[in-house]
Structure 1
Amino acid sequence: MRFWVKANSSVYQNAGTTLCANNTAVQQWNDLSGNGFNATQATSGVRPTYFSSGANGNPVVRFAGTHFLDVASLGINGTSDYSGFFVVKLTSANAGGTNDGAGDYVLDRTTGTNELYDIKVVASGGTNRFFFQKRNDGGGNLGGPTSTTVIDPNGFQLVSIDRVYNSSSNTLSRIYVNSILEATQSNASETTTPPNMRIGRHATNTTGGMNGDLSEIVIYNNIPSATNKQRIESYLAIKYGFSLNQSTSINYLSSGGTVIYPATTTHSGYVTDITGIGQDNGSGLNQSNSKNQSSNDFIRMQNPSALSNGDFLMWGSNNATMITPNTVDVDGSAVLRRLSRVWRVAHTGNIGTVDFSIDLSIVPGAKVQADLRLLIDGDGDGFADNDVAPLTGILTGNLFTVAGVNFSDGDYFTIGSVSPGTTPLPIELTEFRSTCHEKTIDLNWTTISETGNAFFVIERSSDGENWLDLKHIEGSGTTKTYKKYSFTDGFKKNELRYYRLTQVDYDGNTETFDLISSNCINGDDKMIIYPNPAINELSVELNLSKNYGTAEIKIINALGKLCLLEKMELKKGNVTIKIPLSLKSGAYTLLLHSELVNFSSQKLIIQ
């Protein structure tokens, strides 16, 4: 490591003796690498400003167009590898070109030298992006790679650049955003000596500076290994409340290499807005309060009762809707509905208990404190069995808080309600069914009363998880008379389809009903399951018009986890299959399919 500055340590309002207080100008930002390359600014009028909170509760150094700090040469020679990590938020950005000195600069040199190692703003595809501008010692090969990720004015981004030198082949210049390699430029072997650094502004363009915050910069005179890069990125993401890009799954690691969020394995379905708290003496992390900066995330964890070195509590979501509730994966008596979105926890060490809160502003309808529960599924079979007793909390505005929560590794959690709503249900639905025809499927539903019913939403899915909005059908407002509704959808032979119906009232409140499945197979082929509810054995009775080959019976829980798998031969005629069960109480789905036939799914209740 050649250079390391972070806004939560050694930021001074003078030449290194008085630490900055909130909203004071920065004269010196000390290098923590041990090399003494402090960033300084002798001129008071162009000093950036220190703020004690601004990045997930951590300090920031704020630049305003003309502000900058200078750093002497880092002593990296022109044929060395180079890598730099920059945690930055550009609240506004002016774009320049890839081959000029215009636009806003996060990093440049102190004087107009030939050699360049810059980060600046350019426009690509009509949006502002990060650009790694480089030029060799002889003034040649001006250019560089541009990020594909757009600059986010509302959140911090981890922008990383590196140079891989090769004396006998091409030298690579690369740019990454939030851990993902986004672009590479290849040039013939060239000598490029990193110049004296200017942080926050262009060397000679006095208005070519960034507008926004820097929280941490780390620079190496080598390329960290993939594992070490992962450690650095995990530390920065946890600390500053942003998520590593999971378009290619990547685990979060401690400074010692321990997996603290297994995004590639057990938690692969819960990789949206990964966030955490933890303490790691190896990296200097001590984050006891975190909320992801994403506008799509609503969870905060804080005040761990026993946080010490090596302890982490991490969580990520399945990114399901916050609008439409789940009324199936609940016990149906104490808890009547829950959020469709579910989070999963990874717990390393022992942080003790935490204070949990969730902002429910986005959730439609009125919220009543007495109705709300924090639901925790500790055994992975869904929330219907309440294996962890639902927890009550305090509702302040739209913020629901539960103090002293004890999460275990692998827990799932969400929010449930013991009431279907503080007002009467908008509609009384008497049926929702599907009927197969030669090339279409008819959906029909009826109501016997409606209250403030604006419209219905019909959705279709091939897997029961990812839904396509097909049609909005106008409701009848308020009525006490019998109403019939219908919708016709096309289909392909033997294609399994799921449909669900959501009602939306004039206030924006919603009610989603149990999904139905429709598979237009040979009308002579039938499947019946009994008893239902079942306890320790299930009978599957089949009446088949012909042989269908090898098939699988699957039973999955409400989280989509496979709980039972049986294989069999489907032969013409009547057959009854006995399946022994050892499943926990709750709601399940039974699927039977082969390459030649797919039966409609069956809802199964285990007592």
Structure 2
Amino acid sequence: DAKVRGARGSDASRGVTDCTGPGGGGGSGVVWMKGAVFSPNLIADITGGSNGVISAFSSAPCIGLANGATSGGNGSAISDYVAPAFGSFLCAPLPVPELKFFRARAEEKAISLGWTMVSIDNIRGYEVQRSIDQVNYSTIAHLRNDGNYTFSINDLDKLGGTFFYRLKLIRTNATVGYSTIIAITKNQQAAFDQLSIFPNPAIHQIKVSAIAKKSTVTKLNIFNASGQRVYHYEYRISAGYILLTVPVDQLSAGVYWLMLEADGLRERKKFIRAN
């Protein structure tokens, strides 16, 4: 269960002889869920706190009454949570003692990734993971513990934009640990300019517009919030302004990523399938 109840307001003191106080209840918080709908096995308690009352031991004539104090407002249970890429706070994993450092930097044709270990005695292997939304990660490299303490790989994907990288340590006792997350922005020559989606949110269909740099075969893919491809189509387009109509009424409500790919270059845009 997820509980974010507001606190109960305080009662007026038993020593009060007039009708002043008590305290109002606290407002509840918010429960965010990654998926499009809440699991039936999850109970989200978002009840506001109840108000206090005049103490039952008070000598005031309003004994036991709320005297104008009100309960706190209920909170919200919201689905389709996507972690912010930037902001005043950021959830990050605790450091793992076996890892000395994990680094990532953008180079001319790749993202260079590397790490150095302090201890490898209990390490079975490593996974380098990448994300575009800091929520859903895919493994781009898997390495076994070969006795070395220093490792380096290159991410040669031509996709431009901001990516989030982390290192997953797999231990011999089946537990795992994660490095801190590193955000890298990679500029890449685009196959399309001015990619846009409308309407957004959408119910039945979306219009995808862009400026194509040249005539080519273009792949259009749609991925759900878990990174699974749920739609695929190929178009032969001409250079210049393009406008594609894509049906989305077959998709369940939620957050999706649309990706256009041509000549190994990709552009992506997020949209929402509304109820």
The TM-score, its normalising length taken from structure 2, stands at 0.42
Which fold has the larger relative contact order, with Cα–Cα distance below 8 Å and residues 6 or more apart in sequence?
Answer: 2
Q: Larger Rg: 1 or 2?
A: 1
